[in-house]
Structure 1
């Protein structure tokens, strides 16, 4: 009986295939495009500026994608994502400008559009494609796919770059975008057209106006997302910076990445054996992340590697539990309500990601006062998320089922 309960729908299985292709691209971008930008001047500023432009365009793309989904299907969003990514790699291959900051921004904007449209298509579709039990299974399986891709792609990329240069890998990524574009045509034709409301374009503002101060569950979800954006961005960016500061050798970087991934796969094995509850997993992830953040106050190379190991495992546990918890809280809302909540969720996370990156622009070295302040802020936000999640669940237990509220569209007036 329990096995039937965790079998994923056909739509979710298709998303796993799409994730395999997209993660290949995303892993390459996350490591080697950042390394490509870092190598010229070896400045934290350059990498932070690239990521800042990515997340600014990501937030706008996600909101635009949700609007398009009220008129078209996820296939269009995936197609736009593939074309945006292809544009970024064409710019990397064929365009060079004297003004380096403008060139970095030109690359970062289409990368952000790629991420934004893809994450909108995935999140809005996944929330409509399975039960809470299926969603938990999906996020665990998607994490497994991501870890395998994360293990293989950097090693293969390092080999190709060593023998043929960066531009050969840019050409290979363009092939992946072509496959992604073709596969988008067979993805589930999920749309919110049947649930669209008049004046849909102002949904984010109506959500804030009508629900943030009226529904406790929405307030706690908002707080959780704002807090998460800070430490998610800190961990993601400085995992790269710590690795690049130790070595710029592609094989060593791929080897370190393989080490982090192997540790995460071991964590996945333990997760499946122990069958921990989401709350326990969330707290375990927060504990590992906290240890990883704190030990970098002693910035020796070996310590930085251990920090990356702890934060990689911690982020796997934390991400699996946190995403499952968030989608379970959103699932009871009607389809249009789920879409709007997911747009709002992504927007809030991007807001604090961007704020964190603005602070990172002033970080000159690891160990300075600004960096230590970022560690303190990240720790406070990290430890606050489990508490916010519990408060959101408790608020939801005392509320009526959103889908059944007469005359209430859940997230808009």
Structure 2
């Protein structure tokens, strides 16, 4: 792994603590306002709407600023989030949730654009797998410690104390941003959004197969992301127990890391088979959610968490590998479209989730089956993408 990627990993530690907190405890904070699925879905829907816009704005900023500068702006967005959570409280509830979601979306969108640009420009081939595997390990370590630490703080001192503590990590994120590579698109001779039509950006057969894969991936990520939390919140209201459940899910992911590394090192099992296994585990988890008892919901979360690990490690690294030989400006366009497609598909699923009242209703079952079907398509799209590469190589050899 290059020094540049190692520095991006360092940045991932400080930022990962903030994003892990946002992912669990801001959603819990909103859930406790009324224990309604609608509230959490609305928060995430507004967040992703702003996330997509902020990602595009961040990509445009990279033509003038370095990724470190954009990451610092993202850190300021995180600071605004915790200021609002600490001191601003008003009715109506939907307007308040919307206000909180806006800076969270700005933070995620700006940081995502800067990080993705850094990874795509400095990664080379197999380094992507190493990077995403390392990202996964760091993420799991944070997921192990962070929920327990902040659950104890919130249980003993309240949410406000935890919001203040997050300012320490925001400061650390700002300091760390000065050590990331000085990457920008200042040398590019044309704006990011000039040749930005979908067909112009996804111009090869392999890149074209990314589009349906991203749509299906967005459905999976969003269903797993929101319901892993809601299932956990439904099982217990105790913050310490919520943290312990999150740690248990993390333990299964860490186990997957060791198993994957053990067998992938010897190539006994191909990445295609690992991806199929992961998506199969996620699909089984979705099906179990049709029987929403506490133990079944926990088992469902375990299976979808295992699926998410293989999805994030293999699927993400493959998509970055498709772009690393492109020109930097073309890479940026692919990354922006990649994020937009993911965000739009996630928002579509969240719009469906707004209509869910409980786990026994028709709407929940319909959304679950829809997500289940999407998961099963991901290995197929991945396989078709690989086949286009093989055909291209075969034609080149024959000619």
Task: Spell out the pairing of 1:17-166 with structure 2 (5 A cutoff).
Answer: 17-166=10-159
Q: How does 1:114-263 map to 2 (within 5 A)?
A: 114-197=107-190, 199-203=191-195, 206-212=196-202, 215-263=204-252
Secondary structure class of the residue paired with 1:195: coil
**Pairing 1:308–2:301 present:** yes
Q: Deviations over 1:144-201 (max 9, x none)?
A: 000000010000001111111111110111111111112112211101111241x533
Hey, what's the Cα distance between the residues in 2 that align with 1:367 and 1:281?
Answer: 32
CA–CA distance in structure 2, aligned partners of residues 13 and 245 of structure 1: 39
Which of 277, 280, 284 matches 1:284? 277
* DSSP 3-state at the match of 1:72: coil
Q: 1:329 to 1:17 in 2, by over 3 A?
A: same
TM-score, normalised on structure 1?
0.91
Count, aligned residues: 389
**Residues 199-252 of structure 1, C-alpha deviation per residue, up to 9 Å, x if partnerless?**
53344xx3315355x632232111111111111100000000000011110110
Cα distance in structure 2, aligned partners of 1:367 and 1:290:
18
- Relative to the length of structure 2, the TM-score reads 0.95
Whether 2:325 is the aligned partner of 1:332: answer yes
When the two chains are superposed, the root-mean-square deviation of aligned CA atoms in Å is 1.4
8 Å CA contact 2:214–2:341 kept in 1: the answer is: yes
Provide the C-alpha distance between the structure 2 equivalents of 1:165 and 1:51, rounded to a whole number of angstroms: 23
What per-residue deviation string (whole Å, max 9, x for no partner) do you get for residues 112-161 of structure 1?
A: 11111111111111111121111110110110000000010000001111
Partner of 2:365: helix, strand, or coil? Answer: helix
For the 8 Å contact 1:283–1:318, the answer to whether it is kept is no
Q: Secondary structure at the match of 1:239?
A: helix
Over 3 Å counting, the alpha-carbon distance change for 1:196 and 1:227 in structure 2 is: farther
Q: Against the structure 1 CA distance between its residues 96 and 253, is the aligned structure 2 distance closer, same or farther, given a 3 Å change threshold? A: same
Aligned counterpart, 1:411 = none
